[in-house]
Amino acid sequence: MVELLSSWIQNIILFILLSVVIEMLLPRSDMQKYVRMAAGLVLLILILTPIMKLFAMDGEELMERARESIASIPAAGNDIGAKKKEIQARQDAYILEQTAFRLKEAAEKGLIGQFGFRFEEIEIELKKGDGNIPGDAEEIRAVLAKEEGGREVEEIREVHIGADGDAKRIEEDLRQEIVKYLSEKWEVDSEKLEIVIEGG
């Protein structure tokens, strides 16, 4: 439809330019009046051509063209919707990455100083829908690794060589202390935190 309209306007403009050039080439005489009248009639026909085509068209053909025009509109809307979702997904990923970075910065010095661990990775899983990070996070998973030379030298404790259960209990106690520390530091419910200690 737009192509039809643009070609129609283009034809009118070209005809007007051509008639002006022809009129300038003709000498002033009675012939010039006849040329103007003929050019005016041709211009009138050019202007009325699309209207005559509309009346010459079959009603069903007109309806079919209208349906095609209307059908093309939702396809463009779907394209825009898909791009919007893609941009939103990129923004969400960027926000999660920045939030994980800020969480790491807020707690890493204390984590190294108190427990001798550093962050390897922080993953944030949000609840479905929009929410504030990290308060509305469904889960925050932190992978920790032992920091070399991070802890200050402590007093040597008595060592008991015993069952494997003691080591697991000690590791679980340490994990709970870290969860408590991070929960307070990040102001997040401790049930939402999952701590994985590499090599432990």
Instruction: Tell whether pTM > 0.75.
Output: no
Same domain, 7 and 64: yes
Q: Output the pLDDT for position 5.
A: 79
In-domain check, residue 152: yes
Please name the residues in contact with 119: beta carbons below 8 A apart, sequence gap of 6 or more: 104, 107, 108, 111, 142, 143, 144, 145
Helix (H, G, I), strand (E, B) or coil at 118: strand
* Residues 188/135, Cβ–Cβ less than 8 Å: yes
76 with 132, same domain: the answer is: no
Same-domain status, 112 and 64:
no
**Cα 139 from Cα 189, distance rounded (Å):** 10
111 and 192 together in one domain: yes
pLDDT of residue 200 exceeding 80, the answer is: no
Is the residue at 16 inside a domain? yes
Place of tokens 């010039």: 32
- Residue type (1 letter), 103: L
- In this structure, is residue 45 part of a structural domain? yes
Same domain assignment for residues 78 and 106: no
Q: 117 and 49 in one domain?
A: no
How many CB atoms within 10 Å of residue 133?
17
Last residue of a domain, one of 57, 85, 113: 85
Residues 67 and 138 in one domain: no
* 81 & 159 share domain: no
Per the model's pLDDT, the better-predicted residue between 164 and 118 turns out to be: 118
Do 177 and 112 share a domain, yes or no? yes
If asked whether residues 113 and 176 sit together in one domain, one would say yes
Residue 189 main-chain phi, psi, to 5 deg? -60, 135
Could you tell me if residue 61 is inside a domain? yes
Q: Which of 35, 50, 85 is the last residue of a domain?
A: 85
Question: Are 137 and 192 in contact, with CB atoms under 8 Å apart?
Answer: yes
Residues 57 and 116 in one domain: no
Q: Do 109 and 52 share a structural domain?
A: no
Q: What is the pLDDT of residues 107-159, one digit of tens each?
A: 888 888 888 888 888 888 877 665 555 456 788 888 888 877 644 445 555 55
Q: What is the total count of domains within the chain?
A: 2
Q: In this structure, is residue 90 part of a structural domain?
A: no
Q: Which domain holds residue 63?
A: 2-85
Supply φ then ψ for residue 154, to 5 degrees. Answer: -105, 165
CA distances from 128 to 45, 73, 95 (A): 63, 31, 15
pLDDT in tens, 70-117: 777 766 667 778 888 889 889 988 888 898 899 888 888 888 888 888
User: Which contacts qualify for 111-114: CB closer than 8 Å, 24 or more apart?
Assistant: 111/144, 111/178, 111/181, 111/182, 112/147, 112/150, 112/151, 113/150, 113/151, 113/152, 114/181
